Amino acid sequence: MLADLRESWWIGAVEIPTRVVLAPMAGVSVQAFRRQGRRFGAGLVCSEMVSCAGIEHRNERTLGYLRVARDEHPLAIQIFGSDPAVMGEAARLVEAAGADIVDINFGCPVRKVTKTGAGATLLEDADHACRIVDAVARAVSLPVSVKMRRGLENGSRACLEVGPRLVGAGAQTLTLHPRSARQMYTGTADHSLTAELVELVDVPVIASGDIVSRAKAQAVLATTGAAAVMVGRAAQGNPWALREIAAGEAGEPSREEVAAELILFVRETERELGERRAASFLKKFYGWYLGRGRFPKPFKQELVQLQTTDEVVDRLLAAAPAAAGLVERLEAELPDPEDEIVLDSMPISIYGGG
């Protein structure tokens, strides 16, 4: 029997309204991305990685990564680091920010993270990984989740040894991306490992990796027994993929719908990051949104060359004038920014990673 992806499930005391989770992705999962994901059917959305070292050392970076809006819930904020005490303190701040779940990253394969003893490196030191989970679980009243890879090396089965121990230390759900850190994003995700992990633990397991369609999501859930699937790269500039996976609503969006969603994303990202940072941050999104044959390639290149977000919006409206009415409707449905929780006194730092 095929799984109903619109069915709710639970992480601890937190109800997740669909079985589709929007992945935490560094350099992607800003608030605008998460809010869009919720609108298109993601039952749970996740922040990008927040560095606990940045919190500890009061790194003067934008606080917007811990800004929580009313329409994001349920929301997991992901933290990474290697010191249990520092991770526990960071988790307290995550709880104060209004998150519903604290997620710990034991999966990032990027060298600048693993060389500090964080991310996927911790899969090779189960004792230390368990100390971190225990410290975080003791520090907060929120459910604690852990995202991990299969291990550092190709063929590793470290996740099957570490996973049950993390649950024993306090993790209330596990997400497995069954590629090795060495693989990065090459090859295919080996979801036979996901099925093995499901049999080993008594908490929900989220299956991550290669979830690009509703058919793939249903096949993975059916063959692994996982509670939910996590969608990552397939949703970059393509929230319609979430709708297709969660609700079975297939079909390409119109040019006006694409332009309207991109315009809203541009405006919301500018509000979050400021004009200067947003103008640079958004450039990679233009190709993601406008690709797949939706707009001519020269048009995508034209947007990348523009200097301000206002110019980008004007050019999109010129290319798809009917998008203006769609944007107006979408903006009217957004909650008041004053409903957000912002920890003004807490500087954080975001490192690259995946």
Residue 80 lies in a domain: yes
Name the domain count of the chain.
2
Q: Assign 353 a pLDDT band (cuts: 50, 70, 90).
A: very low
- 339 pLDDT above the threshold of 70: no
Render pLDDT for 163-176 as a digit per residue (tens, 0 to 9). Answer: 999 999 999 999 99
Residue 334 lies in a domain: no
DSSP annotation of 136 reads H
Render pLDDT for 48-97 as a digit per residue (tens, 0 to 9). Answer: 988 887 666 654 453 556 788 889 999 999 999 999 999 999 899 899 88
pLDDT on residue 2: 83
Cα–Cα distance measured from residue 69 to residue 180, given in angstroms and rounded to the nearest whole number: 34
Residue 298 lies in a domain: yes
Clarify whether residues 52 and 159 are in a common domain: yes
Copy the structure tokens of residue 14: 């937190």
Residue 326 lies in a domain: no
Domain of residue 149, CATH code: 3.20.20.70
Residue 297 lies in a domain: yes
Q: Report the mean per-residue pLDDT for the chain.
A: 91
Clarify whether residues 279 and 205 are in a common domain: no
Clarify whether residues 29 and 137 are in a common domain: yes
Residue 339 lies in a domain: no
Between 200-204, 226-230, 257-261, 276-280, the lowest mean confidence (pLDDT) is in: 276-280
Other C-beta atoms lying within 10 Å of the C-beta of residue 131: 17
108 is catalytic: yes
pLDDT on residue 272: 86
Clarify whether residues 217 and 83 are in a common domain: yes
Clarify whether residues 213 and 91 are in a common domain: yes
Residue range of the domain that includes 271: 255-321
Clarify whether residues 267 and 211 are in a common domain: no
Clarify whether residues 101 and 232 are in a common domain: yes
Give the dihedral sign, CA 101/107/111/117: positive
Clarify whether residues 22 and 119 are in a common domain: yes
The one catalytic residue among 46, 52, 108, 130: 108
Cα–Cα distance measured from residue 6 to residue 10, given in angstroms and rounded to the nearest whole number: 13
Clarify whether residues 260 and 242 are in a common domain: no
More confident of the two residues 136 and 108: 136
More confident of the two residues 52 and 254: 254
- Give the chain's largest Cα–Cα span: 58
Clarify whether residues 242 and 102 are in a common domain: yes
Residue 268 lies in a domain: yes
251-259 average pLDDT score:
95
Q: Which of 281, 279, 280, 303 is nearest to 291 (CA)?
A: 303
279-294 average pLDDT score:
95
Q: What percent of the chain has pLDDT over 70?
A: 92
- Which of 191, 222, 247 finishes a domain? 247
- Which of 187, 217, 247 finishes a domain? 247
Rounded alpha-carbon distances, angstroms, from residue 190 to 38, 47, 229: 28, 25, 14
- Which of 208, 228, 247 finishes a domain? 247
324-353 average pLDDT score:
66
Clarify whether residues 82 and 225 are in a common domain: yes
Cα–Cα distance measured from residue 177 to residue 194, given in angstroms and rounded to the nearest whole number: 8
Helices (H), the chain: 31-39, 52-56, 84-97, 111-114, 126-139, 158-169, 191-200, 214-224, 240-247, 255-273, 275-281, 283-290, 297-305, 309-319, 323-332
Clarify whether residues 32 and 119 are in a common domain: yes
Residue 275 lies in a domain: yes
